[in-house]
Amino acid sequence: MTNIIIYGVLGKMGKALLEAANENGEIKVVGGVDKFADDLNKTAFPFPVYKSLKEFDSKIKAEVVIDFSRPDALDDILEFCLKNNCGAVLATTGYSEIQNEQILSASKNIAVFQSYNMSLGVNLLSNLINQAAKFLGDDFDVEIIEKHHNQKVDAPSGTALLLADSVSKAYSCGKTHIYDRHSKTGKREKNEIGISSVRGGNIVGEHEVMFIGKDETITFTHRATSKEIFITGALRAAVYIKDKKRGKYNMNSLTGN
């Protein structure tokens, strides 16, 4: 059994994560954190829910904290995990460079699983486009289009950046990410990967990676129709790092790629 704390337990992803965890025979939720915890009927959950991990009693023995909330929760999570020798599954996007350095530093003492996308399908897509880039080379331009619901606050999506990095790794000199062409004059350069964002409605998540050559275009597409795919990946990640003492892990670690 893996004992977890859900960070952002009152949010959409937190509630979905709780529901899935309750149906998973390998997971037990022992606590929750949410910024609206003070407004909560404390009897609504069979475990304590607080505004911060600092409020947790030392009697709560959690092995992994799973976070789908927001980047500004990172300090609270890492402080708790380092103090209690607890693993962290970070499924939040939008971290700054400084925050990513904090995560890397923490992983030298605890197990940290970080992924811009917890979907196994996206991980497969990432590997496929890396192979495609190696095969097609510089004869094809690469463009990425990502689409999400109108409540998403960061752009481009973390998944789009993950996919762009997968393409870049196929080239010895890497590629330059171009996020906005309206202020850029001049023809498209060979070392560019264009990334475009669409926000609207309730799109869960769609990503297209296009390899555009002379007279032909090859398109790889992943569409998420439910948040369940991210929840499943996060729970598998929690079980995976439960007994890991330290280190930084991702979906490739989980799938053995």
Any idea which residues carry the catalytic annotation? 148, 152
Beta strands 64-67 and 87-90, pairing class: parallel
Residue 14 buriedness (CB in 10 A; 0-12 / 13-18 / 19+): buried
Report the C-alpha gap between 156 and 143 in whole angstroms.
13
Contact call for residues 17 and 238 (beta carbons, < 8 A): no
Contact 132, 220 (CB under 8 A): yes
Which residues have C-beta within 8 Å of that of residue 53, sequence separation ≥ 6?
5, 7, 33, 65, 76, 77, 79, 80
Structural Rg of the chain based on CA atoms: 20
203 phi, psi to nearest 5 deg: -60, 120
Q: Are 197 and 160 in contact (CB under 8 A)?
A: yes
DSSP reduced 3-state for 177:
strand
Q: Is residue 157 within 8 Å of residue 148, measured between CB atoms?
A: yes
